[in-house]
Chain A
Amino acid sequence: MPFVKANGLDFHVQEMNKGAGETVVLIHGMFANLSMYYFRIAPKLAERYHVVMYDYRSHGMSPKASSGFDLITLSEDLSGILDALEVKNYHLGGYSYGALLALKMAIRFPERVKKLIAIDAPDPAKTDLLEQPFDSESQDSFDTLIEYMHTDQQKTKSIFGKRRLEKYRKNYSQFINDSTVKEDMYQQRDFFEKGEVDSIKSKTLLLYGSSSDCIHACTRLNNMITNSSVTFIDGDHRAPLVNPHEVALSIETFLLN
């Protein structure tokens, strides 16, 4: 598997269509991994663009870390990966917490981020959205996580085998209990209040599920980012997972216009 050293860790990185003139970098959400793009969104974008995906620290096939899930450290991870790949400037898309990271990248590295796509970015001040996954004693919280990691709970849960459930339970429990992820995510709660987001100059697409519980963040971001536009797709917060073709099409249309 391809691994790239950055910020002291060897990150799992996938690239498609390396020879293309422009690069699109895709960032997954917290508790997920690059597979959310790998099978259906990235190949469509790779018909035209060089696509780069990676797994966060402690996610997918990247190594475990006990800390560093705040947006500053994660943005250093990603910029280190892109330096190692010699990708100087790029379009950048992120989903959920990954969308907040994409915004942070555009704030920190405005000369490198061309167009920006924030897919169902949550409002980090709405910490109630974060509460349930961190109750590690609760069976409900594990099920909530499984639901968020997969597109159709009834469909996928019914065919989960013992090995996979045990793997998820072990990884989830270790991640929640033995790392600073909860504190690191809570630290971001004033991200929209600091005036940083207002400084984003990149042309930005806010791509949201039409019934997403994060939709108020869409309105806030649209007011804060000067050069932003909004596109809705059918579904809730998981719309990008349920409608990957629509997401790929929306991103491609935005990049071409």
Chain B
Amino acid sequence: MDQITKQPVISREEIFSLLRTFIIEVIGDEFIEASEIQLESSFTRDLDMDSIEIVAFSEKVKNHFGEKIDFTGWLSDMDLDQIIELNLLEIVKFIESCLS
């Protein structure tokens, strides 16, 4: 008989820690330190990421969470202002909502 294993719930802190790792991998640790990346940090204004870096970040989110997270679909409904102002807390909340 197959045993059904319940997916462990990932905490907000763990999601944030993952996203922080992704951002450092994309930007490079010579340019940014973990302590500079906060929940309130926005991609553009605070982290100074450009669009192709956000693509790389999105790919890491998609590869890690798989089809449970339609990250690009979520972004596609936003206008430019929203993407510019988007911060990590909003992304963490979106991922939480997809996993719950």
B48: CB under 8 A from chain A? yes
Could you tell me the distance between the alpha carbons of A183 and B83 in the complex, rounded to whole angstroms?
Answer: 36
B4: CB under 8 A from chain A? no
Q: B45's contact among A16, A55, A159, by CB below 8 Å, is which?
A: A159
Cβ proximity bits A184-218 to B, threshold 8 Å, 1 near / 0 not: 00000000000000000000000000000000000
Query: How many interface residues does A have (CB within 8 Å)?
Result: 29
**Given A38-B55, A164-B48: A159 touches B72 (CB 8 Å cut-off):** no
Could you tell me the distance between the alpha carbons of A44 and B44 in the complex, rounded to whole angstroms?
Answer: 23
Interface range, B side: 20 to 34
Are B73 and A159 within 8 A (Cβ)? no
**Given A159-B44, A159-B84, A163-B31: A1 touches B76 (CB 8 Å cut-off):** no
- In B48-91, which residues have CB < 8 Å from any A CB? 48-52, 54-56, 58-59, 72-73, 75-76, 80-81, 83-84
A152: CB under 8 A from chain B? yes
Q: B72's contact among A39, A151, A163, A168, by CB below 8 Å, is which?
A: A39
Are B80 and A152 within 8 A (Cβ)? yes
Could you tell me the distance between the alpha carbons of A163 and B27 in the complex, rounded to whole angstroms?
Answer: 10
Q: Which residues of B contact A (CB under 8 A)?
A: 27, 31, 44-45, 48-52, 54-56, 58-59, 72-73, 75-76, 80-81, 83-84
The 10 nearest A-B residue pairs measured at CB: A161-B48, A35-B51, A43-B76, A60-B52, A33-B52, A164-B48, A159-B45, A35-B55, A35-B52, A43-B72
> What are 12 of the A-B contact pairs (CB < 8 Å)?
A14-B59, A33-B52, A35-B51, A35-B55, A36-B51, A39-B51, A39-B72, A40-B75, A44-B76, A55-B52, A152-B80, A163-B27
With A39-B51, A61-B52, A159-B44 given, name 7 new contacts (CB 8 A): A33-B51, A34-B52, A39-B55, A60-B52, A164-B48, A167-B50, A168-B50
